[in-house]
């Protein structure tokens, strides 16, 4: 099973060009879609989740045309939107049960087993009779993934699930995602590099509506290996460096400013080699396209 996105474009009625000829091949397994805020991640995710029309291009999931045959996609889709709620004054248990029935699980006993397992799996069993409005951010996201997992979806679309979660919750959430079956396509959009490096075997970086890199994380890291250099500098000099070389990121370390620079060779002896990681890949891609005011 493979998801093929070809030349997908979308312009909103307010003029925002959200997707520009996006083409991606997404195999089974966890796929990370990394991009800064406003890159077009959510537009792409919503289009995959059949919630939005595209202007041109195609999305095929094997033989299913996602843009046209929405009904069939929805039967095998699990979707966790970036922001969501549910009906007020309804307990999580009842809500999951309701969604399960809407996803075609018509057998009552099966549904009951499933909902109970989901609640256990997401560690929400003790609060199953509370409504979503009373949940903390982490609990809410776990509820979100629980509903997305109903009905053994073949395609799971998870849009920025870890935004705003504390580190412990993020770990829990990663654990949940990593448990999703092998023969499923899971697309995870995020702006947090760790999410991708922890979970994904394939990824793409998207920026300003365009795919700027795709492949396996290791392969992408390989591309910049030996080209990333770092240096501790004085804060006031930063503009000079930016003009002279490709500064991909700036960090603060114990109050000092450390810059990472992408260059084929060591710029000068004051720079030292740096073990490239996915973050460097990411910043390398986007820093050339937009002003990343990172600190």
Write down the least CB distance from residue 76 to another protein, Å.
Answer: 8
CB of 235 to another protein, least distance (A): 29
CB of 149 to another protein, least distance (A): 7
Output the 3-class SS for 79-94: EECCCCCCCCCCEHHH
Element (H, E) at 192: none
Q: How far is the CB of 169 from another protein (least distance, A)?
A: 9
Q: Strand 3-11 to strand 56-61: parallel, antiparallel, or no bridges (unpaired)?
A: antiparallel
Q: Which is nearer to another protein, 118 or 207 (CB)?
A: 118
Residue closer to another protein, measured from CB, 24 or 86: 86
* Minimum distance of another protein from residue 25's CB (angstroms): 22
Q: How far is the CB of 162 from another protein (least distance, A)?
A: 15
- CA 221 vs CA 8, 227, 243, 247: distances in Å: 27, 10, 25, 17
Give the Cα separation of 167 and 245 in Å (integer): 34
The sign one gets for the Cα dihedral 174, 215, 21, 53 is: negative
Closest CA to 105 of 116, 94, 95, 97: 97
Nearer to another protein, 26 or 118 (CB): 118
Q: Of 188 and 212, which CB lies nearer to another protein in the complex structure?
A: 188
The Cα 266–Cα 101 span in angstroms is 61
Helix axes 137-148, 167-178, angle to 10 degrees: 10
Q: Contact at 8 Å (CB) between 41 and 159?
A: yes
- For another protein, the closer of residues 18 and 205 by Cβ is 18
Work out how close the CB of 3 gets to another protein at its nearest, in angstroms, rounded to a whole number. 15
Calculate the CA dihedral of residues 45, 51, 55, 57 and round it to 10 degrees: 50
By CB under 8 A, name the binding residues for another protein.
12-13, 46, 49-53, 55, 68, 71, 74-75, 77, 79-81, 83-89, 98-107, 110-111, 113-114, 117-118, 120-123, 126-127, 130, 134-136, 138-139, 144, 147-149, 151-152, 168, 172, 175-176, 178-179
Pairing status of strand 185-190 against strand 29-34 = parallel
Compare residues 161 and 224 and give the one whose CB is closer to another protein: 161
Nearer to another protein, 101 or 266 (CB): 101
């Amino acid at each position: 099973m493979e998801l093929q996105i070809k030349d997908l474009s979308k312009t909103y009625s307010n003029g925002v060009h959200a997707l520009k000829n996006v083409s991606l091949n997404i195999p089974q397994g966890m796929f990370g879609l990394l991009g800064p805020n406003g890159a077009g991640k959510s537009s792409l995710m919503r289009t995959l989740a059949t919630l939005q029309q595209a202007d041109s291009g195609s999305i095929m999931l094997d033989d299913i045309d996602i843009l046209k045959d929405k009904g069939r996609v929805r039967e095998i889709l699990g979707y966790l939107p970036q922001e969501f709620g549910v009906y007020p004054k309804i307990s999580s248990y009842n809500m999951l049960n309701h969604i399960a029935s809407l996803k075609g699980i018509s057998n009552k006993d099966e549904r009951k087993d499933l909902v109970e397992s989901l609640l256990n799996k997401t560690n929400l069993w003790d609060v199953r009779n509370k409504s979503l409005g009373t949940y903390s951010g982490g609990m809410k996201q776990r509820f979100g993934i629980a509903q997305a997992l109903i009905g053994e979806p073949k395609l799971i679309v998870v849009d920025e699930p870890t935004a705003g979660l504390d580190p412990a919750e993020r770990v829990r959430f990663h654990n949940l995602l990593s448990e999703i079956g092998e023969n499923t396509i899971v697309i995870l959009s995020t702006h947090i590099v760790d999410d991708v490096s922890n979970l994904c075997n394939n990824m793409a970086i998207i920026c300003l509506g365009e795919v700027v890199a795709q492949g396996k994380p290791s392969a992408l890291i390989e591309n910049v290996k030996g080209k990333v250099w770092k240096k501790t500098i004085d804060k006031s000099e930063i503009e000079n460096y930016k003009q002279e070389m490709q500064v991909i990121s700036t960090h603060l370390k114990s109050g000092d400013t450390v810059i990472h620079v992408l260059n084929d060779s060591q710029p000068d002896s004051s720079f030292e080699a740096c073990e490239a990681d996915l973050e460097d890949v990411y910043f390398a891609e986007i820093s050339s396209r937009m002003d990343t005011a990172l600190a």
